[in-house]
Amino acid sequence: MLRKLLELQQLDTKISALKQREQEIPRQKESFSIQRKRLETELKESEDRVKKLRLEQRDCEGEIEQKNAHILKFEGQLLVVKKNEEYKALLHEIDLQKKQISLKEERILSIMDDIEHAQMKLQEDKKRIADEIRKLEEECARIDGELAEAVKDRKQQEGTRAPLAAQVEAGLLARYERVRRARTPAVVPLVETNKQAEACGGCYMTIRPQVVNEIMAAKEYHSCSHCSRILYYPGNIEEVTNFEEY
């Protein structure tokens, strides 16, 4: 009977490990999500750089149009002014506007060069970031597959639990379930201490000789008086190898 209980405990250990794995696997995707956001931010910054340069170019072109309009206005006024001082002032204003236009035109040439380089970088960033995101998505898909496999494995193991538990005496099973809710493992062997005395394999507290003798004689089931774990003598039970430890 204890052998079946040990098999059940080994199965429960594997199921618990699979449940833990199901919780841990999705956490691997958290770092991928952070990387993806970083890549998307990097791409947006590259796109914004091009947009900003184009906006500045349009602003410069708009200012040139305004200044050319001012020049036309001042040139029209040259035809009607009569005072020499007013004529010189208008010529000065026209010259100032032309100089400012020249500066804006130089800036536009510089912006166009910057736009060309920014667009080249944007195309490179798009390709690189698309490749990196594709790799992240592939890794996420792999993790999803790993999670699905873990869930499938756990459900298969859970499916075998009820038939195995049914082979354990009801009272012993109830005791096992009660202890397992508080601590694991719930079933532990007697172990020999350095004082040559038998102790609980869970809490390592010494067990009374009379109890040890009864456990070794396999006359009845005993629990540790300190931690309540169910005790057994390894020599009475063949090694449980039906279940692979996970």
Q: What is the pLDDT of residues 90-104, one digit of tens each?
A: 999 999 999 999 999
Residue 243, in any domain of the structure = no
Output the pLDDT for position 246.
31
Number of compact structural domains in the chain: 2
Of 124, 144, 165, the one marking the end of a domain is 165
Give the three-state DSSP class for 199.
strand
Residue 171, in any domain of the structure = no
Same domain flag for 65 and 96:
yes
DSSP string covering 73-141:
HHHHHHTT---HHHHHHHHHHHHHHHHHHHHHHHHHHHHHHHHHHHHHHHHHHHHHHHHHHHHHHHHHH
Which run of H or E residues covers position 191? strand 187-192
* Cα–Cα distance for residue pair 163/14, rounded to 1 Å: 16
Output the pLDDT for position 82.
87
Output the pLDDT for position 193.
78
Output the pLDDT for position 195.
67
Q: What are the tens digits of pLDDT across the range 102-161? A: 999 999 999 999 999 999 999 999 999 999 999 999 999 999 999 999 999 999 999 999
The dihedral through the CA atoms of 192, 194, 197, 200 has a sign that is negative
Of 116, 137, 165, the one marking the end of a domain is 165
Residues of the chain with pLDDT under 70: 195-196, 238-246
**187-192 β-sheet, strand order:** 198-200, 187-192, 230-232, 222-223
* Cα–Cα distance for residue pair 201/39, rounded to 1 Å: 52
Output the pLDDT for position 117.
96
Same domain flag for 156 and 186:
no
Work out the mean pLDDT of the chain and round it to a whole number. 91
> What is residue 27's DSSP assignment?
G
Output the pLDDT for position 243.
38
- Residue 191, φ and ψ in degrees, nearest 5: -125, 150
Same domain flag for 104 and 22:
yes
Output the pLDDT for position 235.
86
Output the pLDDT for position 241.
43
Domain that holds residue 193: 178-236
Burial 40-51 (b: 16+ CB within 10 A, else e): eeebeebeebbe
Output the pLDDT for position 219.
77
* Whole-structure pTM value: 0.62
Report the CATH number that the domain containing residue 159 is assigned in CATH.
Answer: 1.10.287.1490
